[in-house]
Amino acid sequence: MQYPEPISKLIDSYMKLPGIGAKSAARLAFYTIDMREDDVTDFAKALISAKRDLNYCSVCGNITEEDPCYICKDAGRDRGTILVVEDPKDVISIEKMREYRGLYHVLHGVLSPVEGTGPEDIQIPSLIRRLQSDEVKEVIIATNATAEGEATAMYLSRLIKPAGIKVTRLAHGLAVGSDIEYADEITLMKAVEGRREL
């Protein structure tokens, strides 16, 4: 069956989202057509604004409306500690605990020989540049507990420790293979408190 062009365009757009196949995309497209016009307009505006008004912080790589982000700008934060995560979503998870008072660095990925992702492909060079200021005393590596996350942690540890900076890794209350993003707040808090030196 041939869909009218506006619908097939909408289906194609939904199919660009992760985990959405042709069937789900068609279901979402038809659902959208049934939505109230105001809601559809708000939805479209939210999509455009999320893309247009958000950027990555030029210091830490977190998503932000202003550059540098509010965390990097906050004078009350401990500038001696940088917590390294894979993804901006991890910053949100850790901020929710309201326990951690240091800064962040978002790698935007992990090292993966299989996928050909090397240090230059993620935000490792910018991390190393930040560490050249003598303020940083500790780097807490909070990459996910996956094989790539562990390998990235080891790589960073070897790179950073010779500079005399303490390198720690989140404790493994976090299950192996688990994502920081899905850890509950108490597990995360314990993981930060029980971090071990690499």
**One residue of 72, 110, 145, 183 binding Zn ion per CB under 5 A:** 72
| Residue 56 CB neighbour total at 10 angstroms | 16
d(CA 197, CA 136): 16
150: part of which helix (H) or strand (E)? helix 147-160
User: Could you say whether residue 69 binds Zn ion (CB under 5 A)?
Assistant: yes
Q: By C-beta, is 103 or 167 nearer to Zn ion? A: 103
- Name the pairing type of β-strands 138-141 and 78-85: parallel
Choose one: 32-40, 63-71, 92-100, 112-120; the region binding Zn ion (CB under 5 A): 63-71
Binders in 38-57 for Zn ion, by CB under 5 A: 57
**Contact status, residue 110 vs residue 86, Cβ threshold 8 Å:** yes
Q: By C-beta, is 105 or 148 nearer to Zn ion? A: 105
Please report how close the Cβ of residue 123 comes to Zn ion at its closest, in angstroms: 11
User: Could you say whether residue 107 binds Zn ion (CB under 5 A)?
Assistant: no
Q: By C-beta, is 11 or 69 nearer to Zn ion? A: 69
Rg, Å, the chain Cα set: 20
Residue 171, CB-side half-sphere exposure with 13 Å CA sphere: 12
User: Could you say whether residue 59 binds Zn ion (CB under 5 A)?
Assistant: yes
- Which residues contribute to the site for Zn ion (CB under 5 A)? 57, 59-60, 62, 68-69, 72
